[in-house]
Amino acid sequence: MNRVDPSRQAPALLPVKQAEAIVRDRERTAGLAARAAQKAEKNKRALRKVWDDLLTLIRLIAAWARRDYTHVPWSTIVADVAALIYFVNPFDLIPDFLNVFGLIDDAAVLGLVVSAISEDLSRFRGWEREHPRSDFPPADSVDPVESVNPTKTE
């Protein structure tokens, strides 16, 4: 099968070079996933149309950074990280301080990346169903955002 490299097909707005640098450091990658989860939770209502896919992107990156899920092409990880960088950046094409309007471009970019890596996201969702984690529940869980950045109770 002739596979298209999603990181090279990414919209020109995506910071692919920055994503490649972050992906080389799994700790920074995990931190990005946590920041994306926090922003997603704060804007849950406005992001409802892309919510499930956004959480899957975040969980994929978090699982990859932990080395729990590594059977994913480098180009998919780079495209995912580039989309999350764009998402967490408050000063992108439409600045986030414009309330809901500032998330329109974020949702569009996320949708483009999800479309480009849909096969890999589908495989990851299948892997999640086969490898449940008590501290990182799959998409059909009650609170999947909390699973990205779980709070510790002692």
pLDDT digits (tens, 9 = 90+) for 13-53: 578 889 999 999 999 999 999 999 999 998 898 888 899 99
Predicted pLDDT of residue 138 = 46
Distance between CA 78 and CA 69 in Å, rounded? Answer: 15
Q: Of 33, 30, 19, nearest to 66 (Cα)?
A: 30
pLDDT of residue 133: 74
Q: What is the pLDDT of residues 58-104, one digit of tens each?
A: 999 999 999 999 999 999 999 999 999 999 988 777 777 777 778 88
Annotated domain spans of the chain: 16-148
Separation between Cα atoms, residue 27 and residue 40, nearest integer Å: 20
Q: Considering only CA atoms, which of 11, 26, 119, 118 is closest in space to residue 66?
A: 26
Helices (H), the chain: 16-23, 26-42, 51-65, 74-88, 101-116, 118-130, 144-148
pLDDT tens by residue, 92-111: 777 777 777 788 888 889 99
pLDDT value for 12: 53
Mean pLDDT for 123-134 is: 88
